[in-house]
Amino acid sequence: MLLAKSELLAELSTQLESLNPGAGAKAAFEMPKVASHGDLACTCAMQLAKPLGKNPRALGEQLKESLMSSPVFQKWVSSIEIAGPGFLNITLTPAAKQSVLAQIFETKEKFGQQPSNGGAVMVEFVSANPTGPLHVGHARQAALGDAICNLFASQGFKVHREFYYNDAGVQIATLANSTQLRAKGIRPGHAEWPETSYNGDYIQDIADDYLAKKTVRADDREMTASGDINNLENIRDFAVAYLRHEQDLDLQAFGVKFDHYYLESSLYTSGKVETAVQQLQEKGHTYEQDGALWLKSTDYGDDKDRVMRKQDGTYTYFVPDVAYHQTKWERGFTKAINIQGTDHHGTIARVRAGLQALDCGIAKGFPDYVLHTMVRVVKGGEEVKISKRAGSYVTLRDLIEWTSADAVRFFLLSRKPDTDYLFDVDLAVSKNNENPVFYVQYAHARICTILTTWGGNIAELSQVSLEPLQSQQAMALLILLAKFPEVLTAAARDFAPHDVTFYLRELAACYHSYYDAERILIDDEAVKLARLALVAATAQVISNGLAMLGVSAPQKM
């Protein structure tokens, strides 16, 4: 169907160009929302009627006649109906719909993907400060970021995954102090235990390993403890390395990898923050007031000017963000996407304003942001708010241990990022059609069982006659398979991996309906092979879609 659609679109473009020069570039098909309206729809007659001074329905009839006289439309189209004021509702031939199977068998795991476009994109996500275990909000961010990376890779981009974190500052100082107190035997509830300290059991684990003079290794650092409880700097460095290692274990369990870890402290030690501030001053986009340095961010759409450097000489938190994003641009990433919580909404305007004020060619609207809400967790009908390990929240590791990495990924991707989400642990482990990830994975496993029972060579199915695939259920499945490349393109464009979950659930339902309507392993060899080709291609597309989400496609369940 993809080949057929491509050839039909080219012919439509040619016909429109002959009617009105320049109109060919606007040739497009839509997918009718009602199945009885055909397989493709075209509104071009209504769009061209006014500039051509013609009645849209009459123009539609004229266009229908010329299109149906062309060899391409005669090959792939069974009929064109004119509806309403001039809609062209196009019904494809069975052969046109069946043609998608050849493309699936040819491209396999690459089906739906586009060739390299030479572009590069950086996606920054998770970016959790190393002060504690990753929580469910980080889990949603990890799932979103990784899926968006996969989607952009499917569209031909070279994707760079980056993790940015603060390895200094107040939170890290609190971590060091909390660990030191635990090493001295002071625990939460003790008179000397500050209210601002971190209370989770993981702090005691860090203190114990520090006293044991252990060595910890993370993806971006390695540290050996001295065991000296009075060496706060060594405690801090060890605690950061320890928790970075813990984060690595969480991310490994979730199947997420990063290409680079970027330290906030490096922006200061390298002088990038000072350089950015100096550039803004030299360009005339700052001013002094009340002993502070201000950015004229209202000149770039912000609702008010922002303080950059406070009276005490320290920088506000958005200043290093400006310097950091300047480095992204300088590293060649003209497209960058940040996956962050909705609490970062206020920083968008000021960071973009700072980047524009640098006057160094950074595109307006750089970077893109995907903001997500937090996640609530329900288990046994009651909301879970506290993890003993973390002290005050449910961790990513908790979710994985209670369910599975597949369930966590699929569930957290099944809603728009800015939609509140209630993660139901009991539903995630259930084995019924109410569990969306089970429903989709079961469809794949069910097909694999059929193919195993058949026992033939799946590759040979690409050569069988597909003429027996004529039923309404088979046609519906073929049309949905052909839709997959468009789903990936739209999901990448809109930063919407949830659209892939919707598609997979629809595809699984369509397959289950087909399976209920037509037996596959029957005596008629020609019909059996055609049906096997259809379901094998369906399994391939389900597997491809799940791979975009980072979810496995089991062969047995």
- 73 and 107 inside one domain: no
Residue 122 included in any domain: no
How far apart are the C-alpha atoms of 411 and 72, rounded to whole Å?
43
3-state DSSP assignment of residue 85 = coil
Residue 233 included in any domain: yes
For residue 105, the tally of other CB atoms under 10 A from its CB is 19
User: What pLDDT score was predicted for residue 200?
Assistant: 86
- 108 and 204 inside one domain: no
- 443 and 543 inside one domain: yes
- 250 and 175 inside one domain: yes
Give the structural domain span for 48. Answer: 2-92
- 48 and 106 inside one domain: no
Query: Total structural domains in the chain?
Result: 3
- 438 and 526 inside one domain: yes
Residue 299 included in any domain: no
Quick one: which of 206, 72, 65 has its CA closest to 133? 206
Residue 451 included in any domain: yes
- 175 and 104 inside one domain: no
Start-end of H helices in 155-271: 170-183, 201-211, 232-253, 264-269
Which tokens hold the place of 185? 């035997």
The b-or-e profile of 391-413 (16+ CB within 10 A means b, else e) is bebbbbbbbbebbbbbbbbbbbb
Peptide linkage before 367 cis (omega within 30 of 0): yes
User: What pLDDT score was predicted for residue 33?
Assistant: 81
- For the whole model, what pTM was predicted? 0.92
* 206, 230, 256 - which closes a domain: 256
3-state DSSP assignment of residue 514 = helix
How far apart are the C-alpha atoms of 248 and 155, rounded to whole Å?
28
Report the length, in residues, of the chain.
557
Amino acid at 306: R
User: What pLDDT score was predicted for residue 2?
Assistant: 76
* 64, 92, 120 - which closes a domain: 92
- 523 and 446 inside one domain: yes
User: What pLDDT score was predicted for residue 374?
Assistant: 87
Residue 56, domain CATH: 3.30.1360.70
- 66 and 26 inside one domain: yes
Residue 55 included in any domain: yes
- Averaged in consecutive runs of 10 residues, what is the pLDDT profile of the chain (557 residues)? 86 93 91 85 92 92 95 95 92 95 97 96 95 92 98 98 89 95 95 92 96 95 96 96 94 95 94 97 96 96 94 92 97 96 92 96 96 94 75 86 97 96 96 97 98 96 97 95 97 98 98 97 97 98 98 96
Transcribe 255-306 into DSSP letters: T---SEEEEHHHHHHTTHHHHHHHHHHHTT-EEEETTEEEE-GGGGT-SS-E
- 57 and 107 inside one domain: no
User: What pLDDT score was predicted for residue 1?
Assistant: 66
- 106 and 202 inside one domain: no
The b-or-e profile of 453-485 (16+ CB within 10 A means b, else e) is ebeeeeeebeebebebbeeebbbbbbbbbbbbb
Residue 518, domain CATH: 1.10.730.10
* 63, 92, 121 - which closes a domain: 92
Residue 288 included in any domain: no
- 81 and 180 inside one domain: no
